[in-house]
Amino acid sequence: MNSALLPLLLSGLVSPYAQHGTLDIRNVRLPAAQVACYERIELTVDLSATYSNPFDPEDIALDAQITLPDGKTISVPGFLDRPYQRVLTNGQEKVTPCGEPAWRVRFAPSQPGNYSAVIAVRDRSGKRESQPVHFSAATSRDPGFVRVSPRDRRYFAFDNGQTFFPIGENICWGGKRGTFSYDDWLPSLGRVGGNYTRFWLSPCWFTFALERPGKPEQGFGLGQFDLGNAWRLDYALDLAKKSGIRVMVCIDSFNILRDKPQHDCWKDSPHNALRGGPLQKPSDFWTNAEMDRLYRNKLRYLVARYGADTAVFSWEFWNEVDCIGESYATEP
């Protein structure tokens, strides 16, 4: 055990990603000095800080203040990442870490020209800022992000004005084969003209589930995110883009709040107080102050990690949330 973590562990700390050090930004690395417009650029931040939970911005927050070519400045949140590798054994995917956790900022420039980024880190001891790092963006043929069409809000269009008409299907989870299933499905969908699909981030046993029940000291439980599954989502989104497919990312499914006779998943939900969550009953999701705080933290992480990915077509808050209604209590 790292002796520097001992004071935090004695105070009740359980996160495996906790750090205890003097606040400092040691280095900010850029993969390249120039990228194409809408190409994702990833800054890696080598920092020292003191925090218990890297997924709680009240404990530690990393943000980049990015100055655009037109002089405007935007704030982009950062996130904790970890590299993984995958193997398929007897039809079952397993992912294991292949490197140490690292802080990153992702950004996709939309304007050609020169950019600068200043990294700001705040922990329980104070705040530090980096010196500016500079990069530029060149024009490209990438159509950009899909948005609601400015000409007619009933339709979608890319940033370059090209119409986007989604044609595809749900391939929300990969089963036991995990991302190896998507190696087959996504290129095949693209080859037959599909350009759209949907991924689910819950319930907790699905391929891309970020919130999973388990021991907090192993990185599980509400308030922490499964970095292995986050890596899986990165992998599948990269493959989707290569296959010409845009993805609706569904944040939650009815399963996590359902305690009815059919599909009773509440007993396994990380939201359940019996599994370490903040909720005594499913309906507390909508009124519990701690749940509100945790959900905002999750949205921040999703925006930080996937907001710069043009493969993300849209965000869906809930799948079939009406399935938790009383009318389902008497299903045959």
Q: Which range among 37-46, 223-232, 260-269 shows the weakest confidence by mean pLDDT?
A: 260-269
Helix or strand or coil: residue 241? helix
**Residues 63 and 130 sit within 8 Å (Cβ to Cβ):** no
Region label for 320, one of left (φ > 0), alpha (ψ between -120 and 50) or beta (otherwise) = left
Through-space distance between the first and last CA atoms of the chain, rounded to whole angstroms: 53
Where does the pLDDT of residue 6 fall: very low under 50, low under 70, confident under 90, or very high at 90 and above?
A: very low
What is the CB neighbour count within 10 angstroms for residue 174? 21
Helices (H) and strands (E) in the chain, counts: 4, 19
Q: Is the pLDDT of residue 1 over 50?
A: no
Read off the tokens for 280: 């005594």
Taking CA atoms, 145 is separated from 29, 38, 85, 189, in Å, by 26, 8, 29, 20
Please tell me the total number of residues recorded for the chain in this structure: 332
Q: What is the pLDDT of residues 180-217, one digit of tens each?
A: 999 999 999 999 999 999 999 999 889 999 999 998 88
Read off the tokens for 303: 């925006």
Q: Check residue 325 and give its pLDDT.
A: 57
**Residues 232 and 178 sit within 8 Å (Cβ to Cβ):** yes
What is the CB neighbour count within 10 angstroms for residue 330? 9
246-253/196-200 β-pairing: parallel
257: closest CA among 228, 284, 276? 284
Q: What is the pLDDT of residues 270-327, one digit of tens each?
A: 999 999 999 999 989 999 999 999 999 999 999 999 999 999 999 999 998 777 655 4
Say which residue the tokens 């039809």 belong to.
91
